[in-house]
Structure 1
């Protein structure tokens, strides 16, 4: 009986935690809706698609893939690291895409990472106000990349668009393939380290 009571209590705690998380997400959606980013008519408008991959998450080789579209032209870019995480590669894809744009642009950035989109549109402001501490009073993970993303995005007008992954979205599938190829290539290059993953500043 003692075991059954313990299990039941644990289940109730998990259920309560789940309800609390659901209410928190509902609160975010109601009170912190994604702002509509105004585009500057003088800026060029670029479509960006990005994706990340990690072969053994966390800590395995990973890569990111990017597709740029501008005035009917399409360009691809990818790279990888020997040890990293999937979230870091999702972030890195968007980051490198924004950093590679030489001039301020209107950017429509497509990603299948809710972590990336929510971080940039819902959580970033609160993190910065709280000194990069989460609502749970814990340090923000991947803060090195979030800071770089914040700076890179500030140079442009960025609309963050979530797309469902592995759902036949052409550009997302291309990015996914590029990211995986880069990850496999990085597996054979141990010198290509993701410094932030190892806590190197």
Structure 2
């Protein structure tokens, strides 16, 4: 985590302007192609087929991590840049009707990331909670899945923007005709502009388009 010298920061004026708003959040929802991802999964042997949500969570984390502005946060009221951020995601534990929150370390290696995700799910099965270890960190990307909703816009609950600076990403129901799914990205405009959000979606599409390389199985 690197503290930013705000007086030498190119973004100083923008940060102070938006952070003084009552609601400095900005959200974009866009359809993202999953055509190549679905085709890739259909070619996989049943035993080796990766979980669809794991592929999407990995693609989100990979893409968000590659945009420095999506790794900017507030810690102790000061802007910082995290060198790496981890995954925080919702999950419905076995036998439960309410979701739990999970935290898994992000790894650029897909198989290691999947293992971390599965370990987090198993921990939630054993002891479901909304406040898992590591969940208090700002060095996260919050993610969730609404597989039954083909939403066209979405907003998330936020806390005090001086304490809660983590981007949110939610994906929804696949359009079986277009082979797209909606992805909503919500951020603090204090750190992130529209062009940075555009970079995220561009890189997300690229990861999903090259599914065989992005999600190696064996």
Same fold by TM (over 0.5)?
Answer: no
Q: Which has the larger radius of gyration?
A: 1
Instruction: Give the TM-score taking structure 2 as reference length.
Output: 0.28
Q: Normalising by structure 1, what TM-score?
A: 0.30
Greater helix share, structure number? 1
